[in-house]
Amino acid sequence: MAGSNDYVIKAGTGGSEVDILGQLDGTLTINGAPVETTNKSSGGYIEYLDAFMAGKQVQFAGNFNLINEAGQNTIKGDIESGVQAEYTIETGVGGESWSGKFVVSGRSDGAPLNGVPTMAVTFMSSGIYTYTAPTVV
Amino acid sequence: MSDSDIRDAMVGLLNTAGIPVANISFENKPFDPDDRSDSSYYIAFYFMPSTEDSAGKTLNDDSEQLGSIQISVFTNLNSDYYGTKYLETIDTIKGAFLTGVEASYNGQAVTILDSSNISPSDSESWYQGGLTINYRAFKKRV
């Protein structure tokens, strides 16, 4: 069963993932569009290329409590430099995950009076990523 | 990192107010006020942690604890101070617990959020009021 603290993004891949502390809510989006191949032989129906999606990308928009922590500081540095690094998104539902190179951008910080500052960032996959399908136990 | 450290950090802040230790009553500890005179006063310190929520999604994340301390202020009833002794004591305490002030004990940091007054009233032979001071602390979960 899915828990409230699923969908965690971690730094690294291949079993050496490291927690990025302070993660709050997040939104996962799978991008990709079918390629249309409609032609006269389609008989007036729309057709798409089978087993192919163009513009495949996984995006994860996450909010973090801003803390002085190694993982977060790496993200902050990568945002400034544009450096791509390896990340893994784990859903916690049947072991489903996405891992690969991600670029981090769109940092937007909130600093409420007397509150805890937060950082919103978006992780966007770059190039091929590894998808692990969920399994039913 | 523990509730005890959070409490001790708050006690440390209280100590900066300069209230003599002999005039501070702590929870669950025997206490006798000094000899009564018009200028007699003492305060009572109560630590009251409240909510505790995760500050992140993993077990390695901190917990965010919100809570308060209550400091009751007792001054001599029917004294010639017109309540000023009470207000002076309140001001002294407020000066140590200003919004945004951070204290720490044993590596545990605590931030003061705000405070509110408890209106004074007669309490047996004392004129009693006080302050409720709210805090936030991030503590290790594991």
- Cα→Cα distances A26→A4, A58, A78, B123, Å: 11, 13, 19, 52
Residue of chain B minimizing CA distance to A5: B57
Which pLDDT score, from 0 to 100, does residue B141 have?
81
Q: pLDDT above 70 covers what percent of chain B? A: 98
**What are the tens digits of pLDDT across the range A76-121?**
999 999 999 999 999 988 889 999 999 999 999 999 998 999 999 9
A21 vs B58, B113, B114: nearest CB: B58
Average pLDDT over residues A7-24: 92
Whether the Cβ atoms of residue A101 and residue A127 lie closer than 8 Å to each other: yes
A8 vs B54, B57, B113: nearest CB: B57
Which residues in chain A have Cβ-Cβ distances shorter than 8 Å to B138? 67
Which residues in chain A have Cβ-Cβ distances shorter than 8 Å to B64? 116
**In angstroms, what separates the C-alpha of A117 from chain B's closest C-alpha?**
12
Cα–Cα distance measured from residue A53 to residue B71, given in angstroms and rounded to the nearest whole number? 65
B137: pLDDT strictly greater than 50: yes
Query: Angle B84-96/B3-16 helices, nearest 10 degrees?
Result: 120
pLDDT range class, residue B81, cuts 50, 70, 90:
confident
**What are the tens digits of pLDDT across the range B33-79?**
876 777 789 999 999 999 999 999 988 899 999 999 999 999 988 88
Nearest to B19 by CA among B80, B99, B73: B73
A14: pLDDT strictly greater than 80: yes
**What are the tens digits of pLDDT across the range B14-40?**
999 999 999 999 999 999 887 677 778
Test A114 with B113 for CB contact under 8 angstroms: yes
Test A22 with B56 for CB contact under 8 angstroms: yes
ipTM attached to this prediction: 0.78
Average pLDDT taken over every residue of chain A: 93
Cα–Cα distance measured from residue B57 to residue A30, given in angstroms and rounded to the nearest whole number? 22
Q: Which of A21, A64, A118 to mutate to test the interface with B (most CBs of B within 10 A)?
A: A21
SS3 content of chain B, % helix, strand, coil (to 5): 20, 45, 30
Cα–Cα distance measured from residue A60 to residue B76, given in angstroms and rounded to the nearest whole number? 62
Cα–Cα distance measured from residue A64 to residue A75, given in angstroms and rounded to the nearest whole number? 11
Residue of chain B minimizing CA distance to A114: B113
**Pick from A55-59, A81-85, A123-127, B81-85: least confident:** B81-85
Structure tokens at A96: 């489903």
Which residues in chain B have Cβ-Cβ distances shorter than 8 Å to A22? 55-56, 61
Which pLDDT score, from 0 to 100, does residue B32 have?
87
Whether the Cβ atoms of residue A134 and residue A95 lie closer than 8 Å to each other: yes
Contacts of B128 (CB under 8 A, 6+ apart): B72, B73, B74, B120, B121, B122
A8 vs B55, B58, B99: nearest CB: B58
B1: pLDDT strictly greater than 70: no
Test B56 with A24 for CB contact under 8 angstroms: yes
Cα–Cα distance measured from residue B88 to residue B83, given in angstroms and rounded to the nearest whole number? 9
Which pLDDT score, from 0 to 100, does residue A103 have?
97
With 0-12 CB in 10 A as exposed, 13-18 as middle and 19+ as buried, what is B137? buried
Q: What is the dihedral of CA A6, A57, A73, B53, to 10 degrees?
A: -20
Which residues in chain A have Cβ-Cβ distances shorter than 8 Å to B54? 5
Task: Provide the 3-class DSSP secondary structure of residue A59.
Answer: strand
A1: pLDDT strictly greater than 60: no
